[in-house]
Amino acid sequence: MTGAYTIGEAARESGVKVPTIRYYEEIGLLPAPPRTEGGRRSYGAADLRRLAFIRHARELGFEIDAIRTLLQLQDQPDQPCAAADAIARDHLVTVERRIASLTALRAELQRMVEGCSHGHVASCRVIEILADHGECAHHEGGRA
């Protein structure tokens, strides 16, 4: 990763699509690169590292605002890492909530599928549960 890269090359090297790179520039996650005499964007190795950082953070589910803050922290390496730790801890809580919700959702879907008698739609447990929210154990007030 040395030298100057066009936006297409930067996209290939970083694994970030061209429109996404433009978007990151637009919202300030990636500084606008210098332009060649022909007006083409010219990215350097630091830009590719920043794109890889953003891509990895997005893959881990971090929101854009959290990534912006993490990038600002990265740009000031002498600071304590407490702020980065707090962002990661907050994200972990969010992920754990999502896992709990998805686990409950899986259990409800399994219950629906297992309750299926493979008869007719008139007696279909899946249709019954979807038609009557009170039958859904996944939500408060539902029967287990």
**Residue of 121 and 64 predicted with greater confidence:** 64
What does the angle CA 28 – CA 29 – CA 31 come to, to the nearest 5 degrees?
Answer: 65
Using CA atoms, how far apart are residues 62 and 70, in angstroms rounded to an integer?
10
Can you tell me the distance from the alpha carbon of 125 to that of 116, in angstroms, rounded to the nearest whole number? Answer: 5
Mean local confidence (pLDDT), 52-66:
96
- pTM, rounded to two decimals: 0.74
* Cα 2 to Cα 107: distance, rounded to the nearest angstrom: 50
% residues pLDDT > 90 (the chain): 60
pLDDT tens for 75-127 read 998 988 999 999 999 999 999 999 999 998 898 888 877 777 676 666 677 77
pLDDT of residue 87: 96
Reduced to 3 states, what is the DSSP secondary structure of residue 143? coil
Q: 37: pLDDT confidence band, cut at 50, 70 and 90?
A: confident
* Confidence (pLDDT) at 103: 93
